[in-house]
Amino acid sequence: MKRYWIALFLMALLAVGCGQLPGNDGQTGNESNEAASAAETDGVARPAGWTEETHSNDAEPNYDVVFPQDQVNQMTITISAENWEAMQTNMTELMGEPGQGGFGGPGGFGGGPPEGFNGQPPEGFEPPEGFEPPEGFQPPAGGQFPGGGGPGDLVSENPMWVEATIEFNGLVWTNVGVRYKGNSSLSSAWRSGDAKMPLKLDFDEFEDDYPEIDNQRFYGFKQLSLANGFSDDSLMRETVAYDLLAEAGLPAAETAFYEILLDHGDGPESLGVYIVVEVVDDTVIDRVFGSDDGNIYEGDGSGVSLAEGTQGQIEGSFLKENNEDEADWSDIEALYEALHADSRTSDPAAWRAELETLFNVPDFLHWLALSAAIQHWDTYGGMTHNFY
């Protein structure tokens, strides 16, 4: 039987607030390679200012420049008036008119517990001494998930991509993909009419339309996630959570503070300080594990619980972030079968040994403990999203 090793990468995607700090005063593009502005790829001239170090996918990710720990970078995003209008129209179709109030709380299981789930203890079960419930106690909702499941995803689909120009360190990146991103953070900002919306950048999203930016990168990074500091006036929770995960020896994304200036036709306007987060399926997995050849999944759906009866929901709940052309979920299928093997009750030691050939149990338990300590509940175990 083929063996798999699954590392459940549970990201601390916490909500954070807003603030403002001075812009970046680090090195400029003029201090790096200047000779490659006329570089060509397959006979197509690269944009002016293109260098291998700053724009090419041949360069290793430069964490010192993109994720500094001792300063606040500054980035300007320019979106044409036409593209800006298209973004707002798309969001209105997805979420209604902006500034209409209402709170986009965290998404939940959205659809309730798996079919056949029974939260009641099995017949004849006796709790350990000292853990007996009070006399007459009845679990809420008969032991089921209360309320038939939470609101699930608050946005029915990802918002549209549009082209933008990025300016940073005196250099320019053209035809970069930008879109709104998020769930609670996006819904809350849109419904409150806040201009500080969470964003995602993809530097070669439009390479098919603009061959001159083929494999364009931002100092070695293809994508960046821009968190808007939802519900955290300290602007510290997200970056501290990632730092705690890293200090504990667990997989964690890098973060940095950026002041974001947005120009959509009326000149640059500061949106305040964002937390820029390294994207899992871009560089995190390769940096942490030394390779990103294995499957990377984003959990989104009740099947991610791997509870009994959810095997048929695996493909719809474990969303592939790579290897999309291979319709292969055999690693997750193997984990499900190991979890529900008969040996779990007949031979627990053998069951545990088999499970640990597939799943990094110690790191998972370590992550659970740390998540409990920092009250990170909007993820696996409490919700069916915000983890990889």
pLDDT tens digits for range 327-361: 899 999 999 999 999 999 999 999 999 999 999 99
What is the structure's pLDDT at 201?
99
pLDDT digits (tens, 9 = 90+) for 3-14: 444 555 554 443
Nearest to 59 by CA among 68, 71, 69, 51: 51
Range in 90-94, 127-131, 286-290, 303-307 the model is least confident about: 127-131
Beta bridge partners of 299: 318
pTM of the model: 0.79
Percent of the residues in the chain that have a pLDDT greater than 70, as a whole number: 75
Report whether pLDDT(105) > 80: no
pLDDT digits (tens, 9 = 90+) for 249-289: 999 999 999 999 999 999 999 999 999 999 999 999 999 99
What is the structure's pLDDT at 63?
99
What is the structure's pLDDT at 110?
38
What is the structure's pLDDT at 380?
84
Say if CB 297 and CB 288 are below 8 A apart.
Answer: no
Region of residue 105 (left: phi > 0; alpha: psi -120 to 50; beta: else): beta
User: 3-state SS of 316-361?
Assistant: HHEEECCCCCCCCCHHHHHHHHHHCCCHHHHCHHHHHHHHHHHECH
Say if CB 253 and CB 277 are below 8 A apart.
Answer: yes
Per the prediction, the chain carries an average pLDDT of 83
Q: So where are the chain's domains?
A: 29-103+153-287, 294-373
Q: How far is CA 6 from CA 201, 314, 332, 333, 366, in A?
A: 28, 15, 8, 11, 15
